[in-house]
Structure 1
Amino acid sequence: MTKGWVIGRVSGAPVILTPSWFLAAAVLTLLFAPTVRSFAPGLGVGIYLVSFVFVLLLFVSVFLHEVAHAVVAKSRGHEVTELAVTIWGGHTAYSGTSRRPLDGILISVVGPLTNLLLAVVCWFAFQAQPTMTVPALLLYAAAFSNAFVGVFNLLPGLPLDGGQILESAVWAVTGSRTRGTIVAGWVGRVMAVGVVAWALGWPLLNGYEVDLFTVAWAALIGAFLWSGAGAAITNGRTREAVAGLTVASLAYPAVAVPVATTVSDAVAAAQRAGAGHVVLTDALGHPVAYADPAAVAAVPPAQAPLTPVGAVAVGLPPTAQVDVHLAGQAMLDAVASATRDAPLLVVTDAGRVVGLLDVSHVVAALQAARGR
């Protein structure tokens, strides 16, 4: 979980105020203060108070943006894990992956649409003001900032919301989410370069002097976009590699024997089946334990026909099972859920025991896939 202070809950998830927010609030207050001073020079120190109020309104808008993401994510079957208010504004984290392109589109689009709706509301409220007062200035600034946040986030490149919409659209057309991620990631890199190019090229094309402050901000935003786009491309390629992982290829062959079977009979059954592992079942045929190979090997040959295999077995909870046909992300989700209770899982095919899956083997294969 992101480090910070929990200030509330939304959709069952904690809302976290991070230490970096205070830095962002201070910088933005100083940046907006000259605008307030030019409008109301007589406010004195109150200029900074008005500027800080604008910053609060801005972060409330960003927070509502994240709330929209969280509410729709939960309605689409995801578990929302946190909403964080950070130096970049905020983010919403939720577990699981979108099963359909429509899920990604809906979760992504509601955030920018929330800001655009707030921009419209603030604009009409500003228009209703009889005179240009400080509250009117705040409404005008809130309308402009929400419009900017909404439009900027709809730009079609990851890690922006518009990039996630593009990812889902390409996924829907091609049938490959990985292809959608990589396309949206590269578009995000183009956007990153474009932001810096605009900051440098626009004034030069129009005969103005380049503003170094604007260029610095553009470079910061461009670096953020480039980094996020690069991470998205890497994740997309990792997902493609992970898609090739299957339970069938990672599991060790195993044979099922009744719990009352002797060690010698269990070893013989494993040899006949060409399996290196033994799973013990109860009277109903449900897996309840597995024979520890080291303990089996330690039983003296003379004692093997007399020793129940249950004496050298390790118990398994009923949830420690995984289907042999699972692959890719579905396999990882199932393994992550089942291994809360056991480091080894019984692999079944239509209820029949066919193998054992060692979680450490899965982790090693996942690391190798990411390395490739």
Structure 2
Amino acid sequence: MAEPDTQPATGPGTPPGTAGRREGIPLGRIAGVPVVLAYSWFVIAAFTVIAYGPVLAQNNPMLGVSAYLVAFAYAVLLLISVLVHELAHALTAKIYGWPTQKIVLNLWGGHTQFESFTASPGRSVLVALAGPAANFVLAGGAWLLLGTNSLGSVAEILTNIFMWANFLIAVFNVLPGLPLDGGRLVESIVWKATGSQAKGTVAAGWGGRVIVVAIAYWFLLRPYLAGDQPDFSLLMITILVGGFLWMGASASIQQGTLRARLPLVSAAGLSTPAVGIPATGTVRDALRLAAAGTKSLVVCGPDGRPQAVVDPGALASVPGAAADTTPVTAISFPLAAGAYIPEWSKGQELIQFLSQLEGRHYAVVDHNGAVTGLLTQDVVLAAITGKGRRNDKRPQGQNR
């Protein structure tokens, strides 16, 4: 349930707290960690009341209509169990200096979003398994409380439900496949053995898919082969949980595959050779540089910083008689503010840097600030995804 998420909760110009309000209801902070109750939680709460209320009323006739209130209390206790689970992740991560962005409680239980951090196999396992461990503790506490025989009927029902809910949450989450916490154990074992976290993530993602197949066999196919019709509620829960796990496992496989390609992503390796041309230059100056074999031309301002890119199509369309009088800025398209990157940037560092920049073109500069290349967003995406560049009939270098 603890999936690292390095994306910011708000974007530029977004008022503080706006994203949180869109996502759900802010419940405040616990140990400095913001907690948000997603609107989707009310769906599972309603389902719990509708599905479990009649069962409680049938098994406990003395409850009457209040059986539905008890069912809602069960949904709240389940919410508390998930919150404790996620807090265990966050507080354990805090020991290692991993900043937690927020905890979100939603339809599927919840998840903890971390900010950027440097993980290791051992620490990743400890942070992941802290959640199920907390639920085992809650289940044990409820079991001890049931042994006192001093509870009323309703309290005993809720305590018994609370015990089994936490036990099942703990057991379910230690299953060896992502997106479950136990998947981090598989990831860390493969990571430690191969030295590649990406390979570990892919292996754990496949483990998650195996778990989905096993669940489908046990709860759907096995009863069907035995001639039994599965309960409708069980059927829906199995489909929903299986679908959620399959999507999470597939996302983990994709994430691991993309992470494995990160070492191939470098500003120097992916950029096309380019040189800088002063903004005071003319089309004639640009033509001389192009004739010398320069593939891309980056227009630099008075301070030497890249500010635009010469459009090859526009450059070729200028009549020869006007080449000496037409400024190079007239045949250029602007770069986004600050869209220049060091040529030594690579991997995750480069991706995070580009995510903070606007536009689709970035000038590449050396230690002295001189332009050495031009990098495009399409080339970076192609390197990460392993897919070819998109077929674009517009002039190469045109800003979009």
Contact conserved, 1:241 with 1:370, CA < 8 A, in 2? no
Q: Secondary structure at the match of 1:156?
A: coil
State the distance in 2 between where 1:360 and 1:200 align: 44
More helix by share: 1
* Cα deviation, residue 233, structure 1: 2.6
Which of the residues 333, 340, 343 maps onto 2:352? 333
**Which residue number corresponds to residue 290 of structure 1?**
309
User: TM-score when scaled to structure 2?
Assistant: 0.74
Instruction: Find out whether 1:348 has 2:384 as its counterpart.
Output: no
Instruction: Find out whether 1:24 has 2:49 as its counterpart.
Output: no
Matches within 5 A, 1:187-202: 187-199=207-219
**Which residue number corresponds to residue 179 of structure 2?**
159
**Which residue number corresponds to residue 36 of structure 2?**
15
* Cα deviation, residue 282, structure 1: 4.5
Contact conserved, 2:57 with 2:65, CA < 8 A, in 1? no
Contact conserved, 2:86 with 2:103, CA < 8 A, in 1? no
* Cα deviation, residue 181, structure 1: 1.7
Cα gap change, 1:198 to 1:84, in 2 (>3 Å): same
**Which residue number corresponds to residue 115 of structure 1?**
135
* Cα deviation, residue 297, structure 1: 3.3
Contact conserved, 1:79 with 1:96, CA < 8 A, in 2? no
State the distance in 2 between where 1:79 and 1:261 align: 50
State the distance in 2 between where 1:317 and 1:220 align: 44
Q: Secondary structure at the match of 2:375?
A: strand
State the distance in 2 between where 1:352 and 1:308 align: 21
Matches within 5 A, 1:60-79: 60-69=80-89
Q: Which amino acid aligns with 1:173?
A: A
Cα gap change, 1:203 to 1:260, in 2 (>3 Å): closer
**Which residue number corresponds to residue 54 of structure 1?**
74
State the distance in 2 between where 1:12 and 1:267 align: 58
* Deviation larger for 231-240 or 134-143: 231-240
Contact conserved, 1:256 with 1:280, CA < 8 A, in 2? yes
**Which residue number corresponds to residue 135 of structure 1?**
155
Matches within 5 A, 1:293-332: 293-316=312-335, 319-332=338-351
State the distance in 2 between where 1:223 and 1:73 align: 29
Contact conserved, 1:279 with 1:287, CA < 8 A, in 2? yes
Contact conserved, 1:343 with 1:358, CA < 8 A, in 2? yes
**Which residue number corresponds to residue 101 of structure 2?**
80
State the distance in 1 between where 2:146 and 2:277 align: 77
* Cα deviation, residue 44, structure 1: 1.1
User: TM-score when scaled to structure 1?
Assistant: 0.78
Mark the runs of 5 or more structure 1 residues left unpaired by the alignment: none
Q: Percent identity?
A: 34
Q: How many residues align?
A: 363
Q: Which amino acid aligns with 1:369?
A: K
Contact conserved, 1:81 with 1:95, CA < 8 A, in 2? no
Deviation string for 1:19-50 (max 9, x for gaps)? 4x334223323444466447643121112211
State the distance in 2 between where 1:303 and 1:219 align: 69
Deviation string for 1:261-280 (max 9, x for gaps)? 333234323443x3222223
